[in-house]
Amino acid sequence: MPLPPPAPRPPRRVLRAVARWTVAALVLGGLGAGTAYTITSTERTDVPGLATEGDERWDFPRLSLPALPPGEPRPFSDGNTAEVHHADLRRLLLPAPAGATPDKKLTGGWVSTEQLVSEYGKSARPAVGDQLKESALRHIAARGWTMPDGTSSRIYLLQFNSTAYADAFRDDRHIGASAGDPLVGAARMDLDETWSGGGKVENTTSYVADEPKPFGAAQVRQAYLVAGDTVALLVQSRRGAEGTERVPFHQTVILQNQLLG
């Protein structure tokens, strides 16, 4: 007798969503099947905090993508060939996790170019500042916090007038080919070989780096995320010989990338 017809395949967007959450669940290692199921079954607009007791990750609040202006598409939808983030950029910043002390300067609002440039070493500031002045930068949103163990986190979202300017910033700052311009407190930064691109959202790119041993009073970790017209800079540091923990930093990168994608 003839075989029954094959079951219809799920829409490609469903397959992509499942793949994204599967990677996000597995990249930090040691996750059980229950956690993976919870994440992969979660809708794209409801990003989980990825917190489990004892796995070193931070307890982020449950997240939702912000509402869009009427008639405007998401950055990577078929109707948005320019890959523009139409949502309020400040609403796309990752919130602080539980137990964090907010940074009084970086409260989730708009910040100046000078504030961003201050993250870089003195030798790099003129070049970074000049490019931002010439690159049709629209605005910068930023948030920072400090955890009870002393880990300091700062996230900057830079929105340009087009993807071409965002890509030019990445290329001219040698991001990807290297760790980019040196940051304050880090004499040297190397691309993080333990980063496998986990949690990557289609059409976005993540570049992760850390300060190798021997580091100074504090170890610095950094990441650049390129998502359409927006570039994110994430910086974490912690004083002490143990340095900055890898797992919560990778977690922060994953969740911020999900919000931008």
- φ, ψ of residue 41 to 5 degrees: the values are -95, 5
Residue 196 pLDDT? 82
Residue 143 pLDDT? 98
- Measured in residues, the chain has a length of 261
Residue 3 pLDDT? 45
Residue 52 pLDDT? 52
| Mean pLDDT for back-to-back runs of 10 residues, the chain (261 residues) | 46 39 36 29 44 76 93 93 96 98 98 97 97 95 97 98 97 96 92 82 92 92 97 97 93 95 91
Q: Is residue 67 within 8 Å of 88, Cβ to Cβ? A: no
d(CA 14, CA 135): 36
Question: With 0-12 CB in 10 A as exposed, 13-18 as middle and 19+ as buried, what is 172?
Answer: middle
Q: pTM of the prediction?
A: 0.81
Paired strand residues for 219: 238
Which amino acid, residue 60? Answer: F
Which amino acid, residue 62? Answer: R
